[in-house]
Structure 1
Amino acid sequence: MTAEPIVPDNRLELWERWSASRDVDAREALFTAYWPFARRIADRTARTYGGGAADREDARQWAAAGLLEAIDRFDPDRGVFFEAFAARRVNGAVSDGLAGTTELRKQISTRRRMRQERLRSLAASPDPHSGSSALERLADLASDLAIGFMLEDEGLAADPEKATSLPNAYETLAWNDALRRLRTALDQLSPKERRIISLHYIEGLDFTSIAAAHGLSKGRISQLHKLALTQLRRRLLEPPSEYPSG
């Protein structure tokens, strides 16, 4: 999948739009543009606290909230660089979050909670007119969850060209073909769907953080996530001849 910039480097124009009219698209674009900056702060602060992968993922949730707060409060007319303005707020949000983490919260990893959230999204009420049996719906759910694991563990949503195959017995022609077909299917999602897939499976953001960044409800992000996974599953079930070689 060819990486395409979600936001062109026109941040001044974006700030003008956001300051003048509170354009939600401009806010989303600003979040996308500055997210790598906030993510670095989150990861660095999590390392300082000596936390593992779960703490790093929690830190990213707090960093996303801190970044959005900084965007909402920033006044570009004051002549201050946004990174300088935002750094203290993002770092403060992450530090406060990590410091306030209880022992119980440490035992329940962010990854587990996100996967439960993902499962609820995919298991949402099926179409009563679909005619599918309970067994068929269960098979579809299992397929969608498997695709999610491929996206997460193989790194396809981040950089499909660098995705690695599973070792040993799983390094088969069939597995590599499935990865290739999944890359093709990802390319055929809408830009917003690809962005949601990337933020959730690669950046480790939960639906609440993604919803805040996009100015949408958590329920809508859940719907878009389910729609994207359903499209990926259907495309993977299409005859291989419909996929270009390469």
Structure 2
Amino acid sequence: MASPTTPGRNPASARPGRHPQLDPDTSAAFHELATLPDGPRRQRLREEIVCAWLPMSHRLARRYSGRGESDEDLRQVAALGLLKAIDRFDPQAGTAFGAFAVPTIIGEIKRHFRDDLWAVHVPRRAQELRAQVHRARLELSVRPGHAAITVQDVAAHTGMSYDDVLIGLDAQKTFTALSLERPLGGEGTQQTLGDLVGQEDPALGLVDDREAAAPGLRMLPERERRILYLRFFMGLTQSEIASRVGVSQMHVSRLLRRSCDYVREQALAPQP
């Protein structure tokens, strides 16, 4: 005599490839959910469905363990996919929820790996090459006689070009970024990675000004050009300039003011 169906389980879940003892029968709950308006009863029923199917989403998340993301984050992403599947599922379509939810959850996990884990933006082609290289290295690592897997090994195994393998390997390094506070050298060193990052040269802001002032400077008499050089490039005081040029400090002051005004006028004049 055949044993009765376990209460609360879907007889269809006994098909090959399903988990008759793991996949719950929530068909009645989904039909009721589709008829309920927003409110406390609908929210409680939706939470019950989520709890019933959450172990299945965790099983799917474990498939992607060890790929650069923590298990806890993978379970959260899978749970998000489960919520999307519950909200999109139509119980009148004649499809079992498990068959509908699995590709939805897997798609959410893959989208997470594709879009959210990269420390920098990586083109889609580089992401695909990274995945090919990653699979090839896993396959080659279980073969005997491959203590160190080379670029040539991966290229021969996949049929990829040497350059494409290099692109895939480089893309593997972009999942995480090094902290700028990472110390360089041995213990006790004060230098960090951020110390090697270049900064904008403040002199860059003067490039345009110097180019604009150049024509006016070239038109000044030699004495005025020398006075400007001693004042603004050598940093001498007006008294020191006066003693070098052989004029009074008052005269140096007038020449500086007149020369600056002239250079400014030439820089701001409309260009022909």
Q: What TM-score results when the alignment is normalised by the length of structure 1? A: 0.36
Which protein has greater RCO, CA pairs closer than 8 Å, 6+ apart?
1
The higher radius of gyration belongs to 2
Considering fraction of residues, name the structure with more helix.
1
Q: What TM-score results when the alignment is normalised by the length of structure 2? A: 0.32
